[in-house]
Amino acid sequence: MWTAAFAFCATSCVGRSERRGVDTTHLQRVDIAAATTDTLHFGRVRTGEIVERQFVVRNSGSQPVLLLGTDTSCSCLELDYPREPIGAGEERVVTMQFFSSGYTYFVPRAFYVRTSLPMGSKCLFVTASME
Protein backbone atom coordinates (compact mmCIF):
# COMPACT_ATOMS: atom_id res chain seq x y z
CA MET A 1 0.00 0.00 0.00
CA TRP A 2 1.16 3.52 -0.69
CA THR A 3 1.08 7.06 0.87
CA ALA A 4 1.54 10.59 -0.39
CA ALA A 5 3.94 13.44 -0.08
CA PHE A 6 5.27 16.41 -1.94
CA ALA A 7 8.64 18.19 -2.21
CA PHE A 8 10.53 21.09 -3.69
CA CYS A 9 14.07 22.52 -3.17
CA ALA A 10 16.54 25.40 -3.50
CA THR A 11 20.30 25.59 -3.16
CA SER A 12 20.83 29.27 -2.36
CA CYS A 13 19.46 28.98 1.17
CA VAL A 14 21.64 26.06 2.31
CA GLY A 15 18.82 24.15 3.94
CA ARG A 16 16.92 27.16 5.32
CA SER A 17 13.79 28.78 4.02
CA GLU A 18 14.44 32.52 4.03
CA ARG A 19 10.74 33.29 4.19
CA ARG A 20 9.85 31.31 7.30
CA GLY A 21 13.21 30.52 8.90
CA VAL A 22 12.36 26.80 8.79
CA ASP A 23 15.19 24.25 8.84
CA THR A 24 14.65 22.40 5.55
CA THR A 25 17.67 20.07 5.58
CA HIS A 26 15.49 17.04 6.47
CA LEU A 27 12.67 17.77 4.00
CA GLN A 28 12.14 16.00 0.69
CA ARG A 29 12.96 18.22 -2.27
CA VAL A 30 11.54 18.61 -5.79
CA ASP A 31 12.70 20.94 -8.54
CA ILE A 32 9.59 22.69 -9.89
CA ALA A 33 11.34 23.72 -13.14
CA ALA A 34 12.57 20.19 -14.01
CA ALA A 35 10.51 18.15 -16.48
CA THR A 36 10.91 14.96 -14.43
CA THR A 37 8.17 13.28 -12.39
CA ASP A 38 9.00 12.89 -8.70
CA THR A 39 7.49 10.51 -6.15
CA LEU A 40 6.54 11.89 -2.75
CA HIS A 41 6.04 9.55 0.20
CA PHE A 42 3.77 10.09 3.21
CA GLY A 43 4.91 6.84 4.84
CA ARG A 44 2.65 4.82 7.14
CA VAL A 45 -0.78 6.35 7.73
CA ARG A 46 -3.66 5.04 9.84
CA THR A 47 -7.11 5.18 8.30
CA GLY A 48 -8.92 8.31 9.48
CA GLU A 49 -5.80 10.39 10.18
CA ILE A 50 -5.16 13.79 8.66
CA VAL A 51 -1.45 13.76 7.91
CA GLU A 52 0.53 16.89 7.09
CA ARG A 53 4.00 16.96 5.51
CA GLN A 54 6.21 19.88 4.55
CA PHE A 55 8.38 19.90 1.44
CA VAL A 56 10.75 22.30 -0.25
CA VAL A 57 10.08 23.67 -3.74
CA ARG A 58 13.08 24.82 -5.76
CA ASN A 59 13.11 26.92 -8.91
CA SER A 60 16.23 25.95 -10.87
CA GLY A 61 15.08 27.98 -13.88
CA SER A 62 16.25 31.43 -14.92
CA GLN A 63 12.84 33.15 -14.57
CA PRO A 64 10.47 33.56 -11.59
CA VAL A 65 7.79 30.88 -11.33
CA LEU A 66 4.26 31.23 -10.00
CA LEU A 67 2.46 28.23 -8.55
CA LEU A 68 -1.06 28.66 -9.94
CA GLY A 69 -2.99 25.76 -8.46
CA THR A 70 -3.24 22.00 -8.18
CA ASP A 71 -5.11 19.13 -9.81
CA THR A 72 -5.55 15.61 -8.48
CA SER A 73 -7.85 12.67 -9.06
CA CYS A 74 -9.12 12.68 -5.47
CA SER A 75 -10.13 15.18 -2.81
CA CYS A 76 -7.90 13.49 -0.23
CA LEU A 77 -4.86 15.70 -1.01
CA GLU A 78 -4.48 19.44 -0.54
CA LEU A 79 -1.46 21.70 -0.99
CA ASP A 80 -0.74 24.98 0.79
CA TYR A 81 1.71 26.82 -1.48
CA PRO A 82 3.15 30.34 -1.73
CA ARG A 83 1.16 32.82 -3.80
CA GLU A 84 4.14 35.08 -4.54
CA PRO A 85 6.63 34.25 -7.35
CA ILE A 86 9.53 31.94 -6.59
CA GLY A 87 12.62 33.61 -8.02
CA ALA A 88 15.36 31.85 -9.98
CA GLY A 89 17.42 29.74 -7.58
CA GLU A 90 15.02 30.31 -4.69
CA GLU A 91 13.09 27.85 -2.55
CA ARG A 92 9.84 27.86 -0.60
CA VAL A 93 8.37 25.50 1.96
CA VAL A 94 5.01 24.00 0.99
CA THR A 95 2.64 21.87 3.04
CA MET A 96 0.57 18.94 1.78
CA GLN A 97 -2.27 17.34 3.72
CA PHE A 98 -3.58 13.82 3.23
CA PHE A 99 -7.13 13.19 4.50
CA SER A 100 -7.14 9.39 4.93
CA SER A 101 -10.72 8.95 6.17
CA GLY A 102 -12.36 6.10 4.28
CA TYR A 103 -9.10 4.68 2.88
CA THR A 104 -8.05 1.14 3.81
CA TYR A 105 -5.52 1.13 1.00
CA PHE A 106 -4.03 3.93 -1.04
CA VAL A 107 -3.34 3.72 -4.75
CA PRO A 108 -0.51 6.05 -5.82
CA ARG A 109 -2.03 9.30 -7.05
CA ALA A 110 -0.83 11.70 -9.71
CA PHE A 111 -0.75 15.21 -8.29
CA TYR A 112 -0.25 18.14 -10.66
CA VAL A 113 1.03 21.56 -9.65
CA ARG A 114 0.06 24.14 -12.28
CA THR A 115 2.84 26.67 -12.88
CA SER A 116 3.56 29.72 -15.01
CA LEU A 117 6.32 27.79 -16.81
CA PRO A 118 5.96 26.92 -20.52
CA MET A 119 5.67 23.22 -19.58
CA GLY A 120 2.52 24.09 -17.62
CA SER A 121 2.24 21.53 -14.81
CA LYS A 122 4.71 19.63 -12.68
CA CYS A 123 3.59 16.03 -12.12
CA LEU A 124 4.19 14.35 -8.78
CA PHE A 125 3.24 10.86 -7.68
CA VAL A 126 2.03 10.65 -4.10
CA THR A 127 2.24 7.39 -2.16
CA ALA A 128 1.17 6.16 1.29
CA SER A 129 1.19 2.92 3.23
CA MET A 130 -2.15 2.44 5.00
CA GLU A 131 -2.48 0.70 8.35
Is 2's pLDDT higher than 50?
no
What are 24-38's pLDDT values in tens digits? 888 888 999 998 888
The answer for residues whose C-beta is within 8 angstroms of residue 74's C-beta and 6 or more apart is 109
Say what the alpha-carbon torsion angle 66, 11, 6, 124 is, to the nearest 10 degrees: 70
DSSP letter at 58 equals E
**Sequence ranges of the domains in the chain:** 29-130
pLDDT at 13: 33
CATH number attached to the domain at 29-130: 2.60.40.10
Separation between Cα atoms, residue 57 and residue 3, nearest integer Å: 19
Q: What is the pTM of this model?
A: 0.75
Closest CA to 45 of 99, 107, 112, 109: 99
- What residue type is assigned to position 51 of the chain? V
The answer for residues whose C-beta is within 8 angstroms of residue 104's C-beta and 6 or more apart is 47, 130
What are 71-127's pLDDT values in tens digits? 987 889 999 999 999 999 999 999 999 999 888 887 788 899 999 999 999 999 988
What are 42-65's pLDDT values in tens digits? 999 999 999 999 999 999 999 999
pLDDT band at 21 (very low <50, low <70, confident <90, very high): low
The bridge status of strand 77-80 relative to strand 38-45 is unpaired
